[in-house]
Amino acid sequence: MTVIEMSFTTKGDRAMSKNMNLYYVSTTVAEYIGRRDVVFSWFYNGEQKPRPYAKLIKDYEAGNLYAEGAIDELFTFAEARALKAYLDREHGDHGATIIRKAKLPIENNMAGFGAIAVGGSADFYTLDKEGNYDLPFSAWGYFDLLYNECVKRAEAPKASSCIDADIIPF
Mean pLDDT (the chain, rounded): 85
**Tally of helices (H runs) and strands (E runs) in the chain:** 3, 5
Whether 13 maps to a domain, the answer reads no
pLDDT in tens, 41-56: 999 999 988 999 999 9
Query: pLDDT class for 97, splitting at 50, 70, 90?
Result: very high
Whether 34 maps to a domain, the answer reads yes
Q: How many domains does the chain have?
A: 1
Compute the radius of gyration of the chain from its Cα atoms: 18
Whether 106 maps to a domain, the answer reads yes
8 A C-beta contact, residue 24 and residue 100? yes
Distance of alpha carbon 125 from the chain centroid: 9
Q: What is the pLDDT of residue 23?
A: 98
Whether 9 maps to a domain, the answer reads no
Q: Taking residues 12-39, what's their average pLDDT?
A: 82
How far apart, in whole angstroms, are the C-alpha atoms of residue 94 and residue 60? 39
pLDDT in tens, 9-22: 333 444 444 579 99
Name the 3-class secondary structure at 144: strand
Q: Which range of residues forms the domain containing residue 84?
A: 23-166
How far apart, in whole angstroms, are the C-alpha atoms of residue 34 and residue 22? 33
Query: pLDDT class for 139, splitting at 50, 70, 90?
Result: very high
Q: Where would I find the H helices in 49-140?
A: 53-56, 65-72, 77-91
Query: pLDDT class for 73, splitting at 50, 70, 90?
Result: very high
Whether 12 maps to a domain, the answer reads no
Whether 2 maps to a domain, the answer reads no
Whether 38 maps to a domain, the answer reads yes
Residue 59 pLDDT exceeds 80: yes
Whether 4 maps to a domain, the answer reads no
